[in-house]
Amino acid sequence: MATGSILVTGGAGYVGTHTVVELLNSGYDVIVMDNLVNASMESLKRVNEITGKTVQTCAVDLLNKDGLRDIFKKNKIYCVMHFAGLKAVGESCEKPLLYYKTNVGGTVNLLEVMKEFEVYNIIFSSSATVYGSPNYLPIDEKHPTGGCTNAYGKTKYFIEEILKDICTAEKQWNVILLRYFNPVGSHASGKIGEDPQGIPNNLMPFISQVAVGRRKELTVYGTDYDTPDGTGVRDYIHVVDLAQGHVAALKHLEKGCGCKVYNLGTGKGYSVLDMAKAFEKASGKPIPYVTAGRRAGDIASCYSDASLAKQDLGWEAKLDLAKMCEDLWRWQSNNPNGFRTEGSS
């Protein structure tokens, strides 16, 4: 077991909160660091309710190096789980400098402070976007990376490369890069879930907001792809499975691992229309939709080969599409405005 705390950067966000729950339930001591730009303290209050524990929280930005140092001075950190970063694909294309400064620059700050305090263990929240347009399917970890179609994906790719270079140069580091496919769903309690600010960038929060009456209809971009129904196919993974993948990765890292890369996905592809129909079934609500042309940068199909995670980490996704939709609907119907209560901004 880890000798010290797990520092979870971006731990008030969607995947972060679910991972904090799984870490606490597995007996780890957790410290959450989040600048709350894309998250709220309410999410962490709910983590405390779910687990019956109180999470230590620091409102610190990755770009604030003195604030980072302060956390490491005051706490014995064993490993960092690094989720923090900006993540809107469209915005990353409009504001690339902001994304490079925050995501890449912030990570360099974090790594420098880790090194200063001799903390050499990190698990990085990466993304299947590093693969770009697939050369083959399913995508395994040997697939080429770097052909990213947007600045957000490039920041993930650049951070991966930085971490690989550190491992090559300094052998004391243990690094695990987790490449997620498409996280959906929420904790079974319905207390925490995905709460996008403004118009959702991802399909399932948009569908759930249509079901709950916040949006009029879904726009389906592209109906002429080379897929069974002409709409884009993706690998959707339940966020609780994903969170448990991080705990499995941490247990693997505790044995000493050098630098490892793992896909976290189900290995199954579902189309946009498949997802809309599954959500209609789970919610009992119609999902009206209109069609539009393809969006720039979108690809026809993307799904994983996650067999390496099963082999090395003893992890595989267990929760199916029906469960993803059922848990997402419980979160959305219980929290129609997300973590914001009536009357708050």
Would you give the DSSP letter of residue 57?
A: E
Phi, psi of 286 (to 5 degrees): -70, 145
CB atoms within 10 A of CB 94: 10
Q: For residue 53, what are its two tokens?
A: 């524990």
Neighbours of 165 (CB within 10 A): 11
Active site residue 152: yes
Report the b/e string of 110-120 with b at 16+ CB within 10 A.
Answer: bbebbeeeebb
> Annotated catalytic residue: which of 28, 131, 152, 180?
152
| Structure tokens, 290 | 């209109």
CB distance 27 to 4 below 8 Å: no
Q: Measured between alpha carbons, how far is 16 from 117 in angstroms, rounded to an integer?
A: 23
Query: Of 95, 195, 224, which Cα lies nearest the Cα of 150?
Result: 95
Positions of E strands within 170-255 = 174-180, 182-184, 218-221, 233-234, 236-238
What gap in Å lies between CA 71 and CA 338, rounded to an integer?
29
Whole-number Å distance between alpha carbons of 8 and 40 = 15
- What is the bridge-based pairing of β-strands 174-180 and 56-58? unpaired
In what helix (H) or strand (E) does residue 165 lie, and over which residues does it extend? helix 151-169
Q: Which residues are catalytic?
A: 152
